[in-house]
């Protein structure tokens, strides 16, 4: 049956395939199937339909699309009939004497008894192996039981506000039909509460719910609230092991899990009977896959909802301009949740003009004064700078030498602990030169500022204040991020320095000042989405701060203080920003007023990728679209390969689709250029 996995001979090897259709004849001679791996289709009919939509929409090969739809173990042919997952629990007795002469078992027992009930995977992280666990079980000091998802609807004592109630009523009144409902509300306005109420109604109908979240850092609190309300929830994110992922995927397919919370790829999960899709923080760029099948999980969610005839909810404090445009065109409904429960005030904004001002490690005097003032008033301060490392560039002030990666055309970032230079594109590391490699002078200096340098400066200026740094170098896991944030829940004075990792997750009620070190890179970015992303980040970071009795302040340093986008944002918030930016996009004929597709090519020869793109553009010469390029890619050389790109732009999606189809069918044969199609690209520069 279509959707079933089979093992088939291919050339000299044997591979796993998916049956896509049946036919009773063949014009070629074909080999018999070795083995049928599933007794029932592993991919349900709606996923097969979704796969063909993905092939058409993203112009991606079908085999690769199926691979993206399935978890690794499903792809490798693992059986969907596995032993049920177990929960392990140490006995409550004092340290059992039976472990006296087994130090490893004793250590594990202690770890388990501290941890409380854990899954097998969690136990492994505590140092367990299955045989070790079984041994402890035989000795009667650890017990195991099947980990069943026990769903129940627990009542909530929250009274929805009138805005929440209206949104809930509107969506639950249309559960049996497709519709995209946007929920526009600042962080903490109660969007999640609306999701929970809608899901409650979906579960009561015996259907399932899918909740997409942007990043792993968001999932622990989100998950906890869902589990509290509904007894259980399946969770899939990037740190989920292959085995856990496969188990959850299978339980969602069987209906054992009624709720799935997951990052991007969860949009492809196999559901028994899906009743609603919720995309939280729909504007988040992490929903777009930028390699292989370059899909937008938000757009796939909307299409999948349409295909299934169910509602799709897009929630955000800073909706993407695409979504705003769809609301204006009345394709999507919009519910605004303006008031925060308990009516917290929004922070006030101030632009700090740093033209001609001396900067101390990236920080101006007025900003340092503001920081000091808030600390004196016992507030916490959040310093936001979207660049990790110590400084973006190391250069020689004598001859102008700059540290650059040998494989990529980018400057190396200077890191202070450990001391090294690193390429943030290919991750190659280099030692820091003691003298200039070109002129041998000692005048090698760090230019610009990253999180490490700002941290160092603040340590010097405020030696008595604890400083926490949050970036990919200090904070690798969600547990680390959680423990950092938990330090900030008590109202002691702290400075928090971090990258966009800070824009997500917890509300930080004791933060009274948000300092944005540099907004210009974003507002003046050559990427047309730069201003949108910067406005979203600033709004989100600002939303972390303050509470009813302590409204926050946001200070933004800028060399371009009259920038219309920046002024609109600070004077009338994200709404004001969308107005100026939407007008700019319309004038410049950029999305959401046009549709784009990016063609990218790279090769080890500098000319070859450019020539190849020229050949592709020649194919679509007569089409009703604008072809831009080929140009050298923003990152001209990556890992030793030269990169070019060309952009197709049209007012009509159908024309872009037709052009890409023509390109696919007429692409010149060659084998040294790697190339790709990116429909609705998010990185155009």
Residues binding ligand ADP (CB under 6 A): 158-161, 164, 185, 187-193, 341
Of 194 and 310, CB closest to ligand ADP: 194
CA distances from 503 to 336, 497, 499, 508, 601 (A): 21, 12, 8, 11, 33
Q: Which CB, 39 or 442, lies closer to Zn ion? A: 442
Q: Which does 230 bind (CB under 5 to 8 A by kind): Zn ion, ligand ADP, none?
A: none
Token pair, residue 167, equals 């949104």
Tokens of residue 548, six digits: 């009813």
Distance of closest approach, residue 330 Cβ to ligand ADP, in angstroms: 24
Nearest approach, Cβ of 185 to ligand ADP (angstroms)? Answer: 5
Query: Which of these segments, 43-51, 404-412, 414-422, 605-613, binds Zn ion (CB under 5 A)?
Result: 404-412
Whichever of 160 and 592 has its CB closer to ligand ADP, that residue is: 160
Q: Among 279, 308, 265, 305, which residue's Cα sits nearest to residue 70?
A: 265
Residue 398: name its binding partner from Zn ion, ligand ADP, none (Cβ under 5 to 8 Å by kind).
Zn ion
**127 torsion bin: left (phi>0), alpha (psi -120 to 50), beta (else):** left
Question: In this complex, which beta carbon is closest to ligand ADP, that of residue 193 or of residue 473?
Answer: 193
Kindly tell me which of 190 and 531 has the beta carbon lying closer to ligand ADP: 190
Sign of the C-alpha dihedral computed for residues 150, 156, 162 and 163 taken in this order: negative
121 CB-near residues (< 8 Å, 6+ apart): 241, 243, 244
| Cα 602 to Cα 56: distance, rounded to the nearest angstrom | 24
**Residue 635 CB, nearest approach to Zn ion (Å):** 9
DSSP label of 536: H
Comparing CB distances to Zn ion, the nearer of 346 and 635 is 635
| Cβ atoms of 605 and 643 closer than 8 Å | no
Parallel, antiparallel or unpaired: strands 208-212 and 274-280: parallel
**Residue 231 CB, nearest distance to ligand ADP (Å)?**
18
User: Among residues 99, 210, 405, 682, which is the contact residue for Zn ion, using CB under 5 A?
Assistant: 405
Complex with ligand ADP: residue 324 or 408, whichever CB lies closer: 324
Nearer to ligand ADP among residue 160 and residue 561 (C-beta): 160
Of 301 and 395, the one with the shorter C-beta distance to ligand ADP is 301
Residue 187 to residue 545: CA distance in whole angstroms = 10
We find the least distance from the C-beta atom of residue 169 to ligand ADP, in angstroms, to be 14
Q: Which does 7 bind (CB under 5 to 8 A by kind): ligand ADP, Zn ion, none?
A: none
Supply 379's token pair.
């507030």
* Cβ atoms within 10 Å, residue 94: 7
Residue 187's binding partner out of Zn ion, ligand ADP, none, with CB under 5 to 8 Å set by partner kind: ligand ADP
Tell the smallest beta-carbon distance from residue 160 to ligand ADP (Å). 5
- When CB distances are held under 5 to 8 angstroms depending on the partner's kind, the choice from Zn ion, ligand ADP, none that residue 645 binds is none
Q: How far is the CB of 434 from Zn ion (least distance, A)?
A: 12
Instruction: Name the binder of 192 from ligand ADP, Zn ion, none, CB < 5-8 A by kind.
Output: ligand ADP
Kindly report each contact of residues 528-533 with a partner whose C-beta sits within 8 Å and lies 24 or more positions away, as own/partner.
Answer: 528/585, 528/588, 528/590, 528/684, 528/685, 529/682, 529/684, 531/565, 531/577, 531/581, 532/320, 532/321, 532/581, 533/285
State the binding partner of 300 from ligand ADP, Zn ion, none, CB within 5 to 8 A by kind: none
> Bridge partners of 495?
381, 467
Q: What is the edge-to-edge ordering of all strands in the sheet holding 274-280?
A: 234-236, 259-262, 208-212, 274-280, 311-316, 179-185, 332-337
Of the chain, the end-to-end C-alpha distance in Å amounts to 45
Q: Compute the Cα dihedral for 546, 323, 60, 661 and give only its sign.
A: negative
Residues 419-458 that bind Zn ion (CB under 5 A): 423, 425-426, 428, 436, 438-439
Identify which range of 57-65, 229-237, 331-339, 415-423 contacts Zn ion by CB under 5 A.
415-423
Which of the listed partners (ligand ADP, Zn ion, none) does 185 bind, with a CB threshold of 5 to 8 Å by partner kind? Answer: ligand ADP
- Least distance CB 399 / Zn ion (angstroms): 3
193 binding partner (options ligand ADP, Zn ion, none; Cβ < 5 to 8 Å by kind): ligand ADP
For residue 158, the partner it binds in ligand ADP, Zn ion, none, with Cβ less than 5 to 8 A by kind, is ligand ADP
Return the number of the residue (156 or 393) whose C-beta is nearest ligand ADP: 156
Q: Which residues contact 391 (CB under 8 A, 6 or more apart)?
A: 413, 414, 446, 447, 448, 449, 450, 453
Backbone angles phi, psi at 597, to 5 degrees: -140, 140
Residue 289, CA distances (Å) to 300, 425, 480 in order: 11, 17, 26
- Contact of residue 262 among Zn ion, ligand ADP, none (CB under 5-8 Å per partner type): none
Q: Site map for Zn ion, 575-614, x if CB under 5 A? A: ----------------------------------------
The smaller minimum CB distance to ligand ADP, of residues 318 and 422, is found at: 318
How far is Cα 272 from Cα 149, in angstroms, rounded to an integer?
A: 15
100 binds, among Zn ion, ligand ADP, none (CB under 5 to 8 A by kind): none
User: Which residues, numbered 281-320, are part of the site for Zn ion (CB under 5 A)?
Assistant: none
| Residues 363-402 close enough to bind Zn ion by CB under 5 A | 396, 398-399, 401
Smallest distance, Å, CB 157 to ligand ADP? Answer: 9
Tally the C-alpha atoms within 13 A of residue 278's C-alpha that lie toward its C-beta.
26
Please, what is the minimum distance in Å from the beta carbon of residue 541 to ligand ADP?
A: 14
Residue 158, both tokens: 């929250």
- Kindly tell me which of 81 and 159 has the beta carbon lying closer to ligand ADP: 159
Select from 562, 566, 633, 573 the least CA-distant residue to 603.
Answer: 633
> What is 583-642 written as a DSSP string?
HHHHHHT-TTSSEEEEEEEEESSTTHHHHHHHHHHHHTTTSSSEEEEEEEEEEEEETTEE
Q: How far is the CB of 315 from ligand ADP (least distance, A)?
A: 7
Instruction: Please tell me whether residue 407 binds Zn ion under the rule CB under 5 A.
Output: yes
Q: Which CB atom, from 90 or from 277, has the smaller least distance to ligand ADP? A: 277
Q: Work out whether 408 is an interface residue with Zn ion (CB under 5 A).
A: yes
* Size of interface with Zn ion, in residues (CB under 5 A): 14
CA distances to 5, 22, 26, 110, 230 from 31, rounded to whole Å, are 16, 15, 11, 57, 50
Nearest to ligand ADP of 187, 305 (CB atom): 187
Output the CA torsion sign for 387, 423, 678, 267.
negative
Residue 566 has φ and ψ, to the nearest 5°, of: -65, -45
Q: In the complex with Zn ion, which residue's Cβ is closer, 100 or 406?
A: 406
- Would you say how long the chain is, in residues? 685
**Residue 285 Cβ, how far from Zn ion at the closest point, in Å?**
22
Give the whole-angstrom CA distance, residue 207 versus residue 255: 9
Q: Report yes or no: 506 and 484 within 8 Å, Cβ to Cβ.
A: no
CB of 424 to Zn ion, least distance (A): 8
Residues that bind Zn ion (CB under 5 A): 396, 398-399, 401, 405, 407-408, 423, 425-426, 428, 436, 438-439
């Amino acid at each position: 049956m279509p959707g079933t996995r089979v093992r088939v001979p291919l050339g000299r090897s044997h591979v796993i395939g998916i049956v896509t259709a049946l036919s009773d004849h063949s014009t070629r001679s074909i080999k018999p199937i070795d083995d049928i791996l599933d007794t029932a289709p592993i991919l349900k009919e709606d996923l097969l339909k979704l796969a063909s939509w993905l092939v058409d929409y993203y112009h991606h090969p079908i085999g690769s699309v199926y691979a993206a739809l399935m978890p690794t173990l499903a792809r490798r042919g693992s059986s969907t009939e596995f032993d049920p997952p177990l929960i392990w629990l140490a006995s409550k007795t004092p340290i059992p004497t039976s472990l006296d002469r087994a130090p490893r078992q004793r250590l594990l027992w202690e770890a388990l008894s501290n941890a409380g009930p854990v899954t097998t995977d969690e136990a492994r992280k505590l140092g367990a192996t299955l045989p070790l666990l079984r041994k402890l079980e035989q000795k009667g000091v650890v017990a195991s039981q099947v980990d069943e998802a026990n769903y129940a609807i627990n009542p909530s004592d929250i009274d929805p506000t009138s805005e929440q109630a209206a949104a809930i009523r509107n969506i639950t009144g249309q559960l049996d039909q497709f519709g995209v409902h946007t929920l526009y509300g600042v962080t903490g306005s109660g969007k999640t509460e609306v999701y929970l109420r809608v899901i409650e109604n979906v579960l009561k109908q015996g259907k399932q719910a899918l909740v997409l979240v942007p990043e792993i850092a968001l999932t622990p609190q989100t998950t906890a609230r869902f589990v509290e309300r509904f007894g259980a929830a399946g969770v899939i994110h990037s740190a989920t092991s292959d085995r856990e992922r496969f188990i959850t995927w299978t339980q969602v397919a069987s209906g054992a899990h009624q709720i799935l919370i997951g990052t991007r790829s969860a949009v492809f999960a196999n559901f028994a009977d899906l009743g609603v899709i919720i995309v939280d923080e729909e504007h988040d760029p992490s929903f777009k896959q930028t390699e292989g099948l370059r899909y937008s999980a938000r757009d796939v969610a909307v299409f999948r909802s349409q295909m299934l005839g169910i509602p799709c909810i897009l929630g955000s404090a800073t909706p993407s301009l695409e979504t705003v445009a769809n609301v204006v065109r009345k394709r999507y409904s919009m519910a605004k949740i303006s008031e925060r429960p308990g009516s917290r005030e929004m922070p006030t904004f101030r632009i700090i003009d740093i033209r001609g001002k001396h900067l101390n490690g990236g920080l101006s005097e007025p900003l340092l004064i503001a920081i000091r003032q808030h600390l004196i008033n016992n507030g916490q301060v959040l310093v936001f700078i979207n660049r990790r490392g110590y400084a973006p560039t190391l250069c020689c002030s004598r001859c102008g030498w700059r540290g650059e990666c040998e494989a990529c055309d980018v400057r190396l970032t200077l890191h202070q602990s450990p001391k090294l230079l690193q390429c943030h594109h290919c991750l190659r590391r280099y030692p820091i030169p003691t003298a200039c490699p070109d002129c041998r002078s000692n005048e090698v200096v760090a230019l610009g500022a990253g999180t490490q340098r700002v941290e160092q400066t603040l340590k010097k200026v405020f030696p008595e204040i604890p400083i926490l740094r949050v970036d990919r170098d200090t904070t690798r896991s969600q547990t680390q991020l959680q423990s950092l944030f938990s330090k900030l829940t008590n109202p002691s004075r702290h400075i928090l320095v971090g990258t966009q990792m800070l824009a997500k997750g917890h509300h930080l009620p004791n933060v009274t000042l948000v300092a944005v070190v540099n907004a210009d890179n974003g507002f003046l970015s050559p990427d047309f989405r730069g201003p949108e992303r910067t406005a979203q980040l600033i709004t989100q970071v600002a939303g972390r701060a303050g509470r009813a009795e302590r409204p926050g302040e946001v200070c933004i340093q800028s060399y371009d203080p009259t920038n219309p986008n920046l002024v609109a944002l600070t004077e009338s918030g994200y709404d004001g920003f969308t107005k100026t930016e939407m007008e700019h996009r319309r004038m410049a004929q950029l999305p959401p007023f046009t549709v784009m597709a990016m063609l990218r090519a790279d090769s080890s020869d500098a000319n070859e990728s450019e020539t190849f793109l020229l050949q592709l553009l020649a194919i679509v010469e007569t089409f009703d679209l604008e072809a831009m390029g080929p140009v050298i890619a923003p990152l001209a050389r990556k890992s030793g390969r030269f990169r070019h790109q060309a952009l197709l732009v049209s007012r009509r999606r159908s024309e872009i689709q037709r052009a890409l189809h023509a390109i696919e069918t007429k692409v010149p044969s060659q084998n040294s250029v790697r190339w790709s199609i990116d429909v609705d690209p998010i990185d155009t520069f």
